[in-house]
Amino acid sequence: MTRKVVASLAWQGAATFVTHLASWLSTLLVIRLLSPSDYGVLAMGTLVIGFLMLIGDLGVGAIVVQAPSLRRPQLQALFGVAFQTYLLVSVIAFASAPLTAAFFAEPRLIPIVRALSLSFVLAGLYSVPQALLQRELEFDRKARVDMLATLGASASALALAFGGFGVWALVGALLVSHAFRAVAFQIVRPCLFLPFPTLAELRGMVHFGGLVTLDRILWFGYTSVDVAVAGRWLGGALVGVYSVALSLASMPLDKIMPIVTQVSFSALSRTQDDPERLRRGMLCALELVSLFAFPTFLGMAAVAPEAIGVFLGPKWTDVVVPFQILCLVLPFRALGLLFSPALFATGRPRSSVENNAATLAGVALGLLVGVQWGVAGLCAGWLAGYVPVFCAVASRSLVMLQIPLGRAVAAMATPLGAGMAMCIGVLGARSLVAGALPQAAALAVLSLLGVAIYGILISAFRPQVLRSFWLVGERV
């Protein structure tokens, strides 16, 4: 199991690195070609689309991955539920487009939402085949499909942006990604059953699926309420500034953490009857994510003025401060994503639902207060609303998973301390290089300095961590 999990992470990680390197380069070019209002309009439109996408399969994908056993009639019924539900929400999205436009007072949203409603039909075709690959830990095949879909979407966005299509470049990229996945996953893992069998085959799975759906709704609520609040109180241009800041800051989170959560959910579901192995797996995941998240996001915050100036240009200088504040929140959001898969894999979906409900309440309160001070206040609302709730939710989850709090804190403490020291060192060095070097050269020097500081500190205080990951990698 260890070999298969690490191999799955390696496949997903390698594919993600290659594809998202191309995706990041494409994104940076597209941002230069489009305006803040284009990103603001898309952020408003995808609010409704993203919500309906989360509940579209009624938790069928999670059921496929988590079920101890799965018979063919059950699989047929699950595919039927997912496809028909996605078809229904496609109609709902298309019909509700005027309501979305009226809520945000943005008439351009009507054709955008209606075009994006096609993505639900496509998702209905690949949700179950994709989940079957995750269940069987065949992440090498899934990674190939994701890689090609991402490259196709990036190329489409870039071509349409150069063609002067504005926000439709972003819409077209999303549709291309879904269309490719619909075809490719059905080829890799055929799962197209007609006619659909009766729902009687799903007896015992409905409750779990309902809790999965409720959990997704709450998760979507606390990760999307910021756009709703910003769109209502700040207006399109400022929403665009916030959206770009969040999009750039969240890139590592959005690109890397799905790998960890997908693999961990599949692996923990297969070991749900072995509490000791589950505890070891969770502690390893906490340490791995901490080693990645704290230096990445704190380092991004430290070099933000130079990075945004080099990659985006002077018209995006308003993004710097919101970007830096969001980078302080995102390491904790990355760690928070680990608990829900563990709770679901061990048959505790209700606890995950309660955690997300508490998080939604805390984040919403922080954002509603913070938005009174503009975009920077909205980002500060994330910091004040999320981090305290994360500490409470993490402690509660660790108790339920029977993981000692001290061991979990020890797994995260060294990466956090080393990341903070790295950030302070880079900020101190800026005063020496900022005026003496061109902006691109200063960015390179500060980035290399940050990597060196963090690497030296981890090697000095936690060398066993690096050795353990190296030994696991040798087994693969």
Residue-wise pLDDT tens digits, 78-102: 888 888 889 988 999 999 899 988 8
User: What is the distance between the alpha carbons of residues 331 and 294, in angstroms, rounded to a whole number?
Assistant: 6
What local confidence, expressed as pLDDT, does residue 475 receive?
45
Please tell me whether residues 198 and 242 are part of one structural domain.
no
Question: pTM for the complete prediction?
Answer: 0.69
Considering the domain boundaries, does residue 226 fall inside one? no
User: Average pLDDT, stretch 318-343?
Assistant: 90
Sign of the alpha-carbon torsion through 11, 12, 13, 17 = positive
User: Would you state the pLDDT for residue 53?
Assistant: 82
- Altogether, the residues listed in the chain come to a count of 476
- 71 sits in the region (left: phi over 0; alpha: psi -120 to 50; else beta) called beta
Are 391 and 244 part of one and the same domain? yes
Per-residue pLDDT tens digits for 396-414: 999 988 888 998 998 899 9
- Residue 46's domain comprises 1-203
Q: How many CB atoms lie under 10 A from the CB of residue 372?
A: 10
Q: Are 171 and 27 contained in the same domain?
A: yes
In the listed set 158, 186, 203, which residue is the last one of a domain according to the structure? 203
Residues 173 and 314 in one domain: no
CB crowding 215-246: b at 16 or more within 10 Å, else e? bbbbbbbbbbbbbbbbbeebebebbbbbbbbb
What is the reported pLDDT for 5?
A: 54
With a pLDDT cut of 90, the percent of the chain lying above it is: 28
Q: Label residue 246 by pLDDT band (50, 70, 90).
A: confident
Tokens of 2: 């260890």
CB 267 within 8 A of CB 281: yes
Q: Identify the pLDDT of residue 40.
A: 77
Q: Is the same domain home to 142 and 65?
A: yes
Same domain membership, residue 385 and residue 245: yes
Residue 466 has pLDDT above 80, yes or no: no
Place 312 in a pLDDT band, splitting at 50, 70 and 90. Answer: confident
How does the average pLDDT of the chain come out, rounded? 82
Average pLDDT estimate for 370-381: 91
Q: What is the pLDDT averaged over residues 381-407?
A: 92
**Shared domain check, 461 and 391:** yes
| Statement to judge: residues 321 and 387 lie in one domain | yes
Angle, to 10 degrees, between the axis of helix 118-135 and the axis of helix 236-270?
Answer: 30
Domain for residue 232, yes or no? no
State mean pLDDT over 117-126. 91
Residue 76 domain flag: yes
Q: Is residue 27 part of a domain?
A: yes
pLDDT at 462: 78
Among 176, 203, 230, identify where a domain stops. 203
Cα distances (angstroms) measured from residue 8 to each of 17, 259, 266, 340: 14, 9, 10, 20
Please tell me the predicted confidence (pLDDT) of residue 268.
Answer: 62
Distance of alpha carbon 319 from the chain centroid: 21
Between the CA of residue 378 and those of 141, 214, 371, 382, what are the distances in Å? 40, 26, 4, 7
Domain boundary among 159, 177, 203: 203
Q: Is the model's pLDDT at 277 over the cut of 80?
A: no
The residue type found at 16 is T
Decide if 57 contacts 127 (C-beta within 8 A).
yes
Per-residue pLDDT band for 362 (boundaries 50, 70, 90) equals: very high
Q: Are 245 and 304 in contact (CB under 8 A)?
A: no
* Stretch 232-241: mean pLDDT: 75
Q: What is the pLDDT of residue 472?
A: 46
Overall average pLDDT of the 453-468 stretch: 79
* Count of structural domains within the chain: 2
Q: Are residues 311 and 431 in the same domain?
A: yes
- Phi (first) and psi of residue 313, to 5 degrees: 95, 170
Average pLDDT over residues 354-373: 92
What pLDDT does residue 1 have? 52
Same domain, 121 and 180: yes
Flag whether 246 is in a domain.
yes
Going by C-beta distance under 8 Å and a sequence separation of 6 or more, which residues neighbour residue 147?
15, 16, 18, 19
- Pick from 57, 58, 60, 84: which is nearest to 195 by CA? 84
Is there a contact between 38 and 166 (Cβ–Cβ < 8 Å)?
yes
Both 116 and 256 in one domain: the answer is no
User: In angstroms, rounded to a whole number, what is the distance separating the alpha carbons of residues 67 and 63?
Assistant: 6
Which range has the worst mean pLDDT, 37-41, 269-273, 386-390? 269-273
Checking if the pLDDT of 222 tops 70, the result is yes
Query: How many other C-beta atoms are found inside a 10 Å radius of the C-beta of residue 281?
Result: 20
Q: Is residue 405 part of a domain?
A: yes
Predicted confidence band at 476 (pLDDT cuts at 50, 70, 90)?
very low
Q: Say whether both 255 and 170 belong to one domain.
A: no
Residue 119 belongs to a domain: yes
Tokens read off for 84: 């028909």
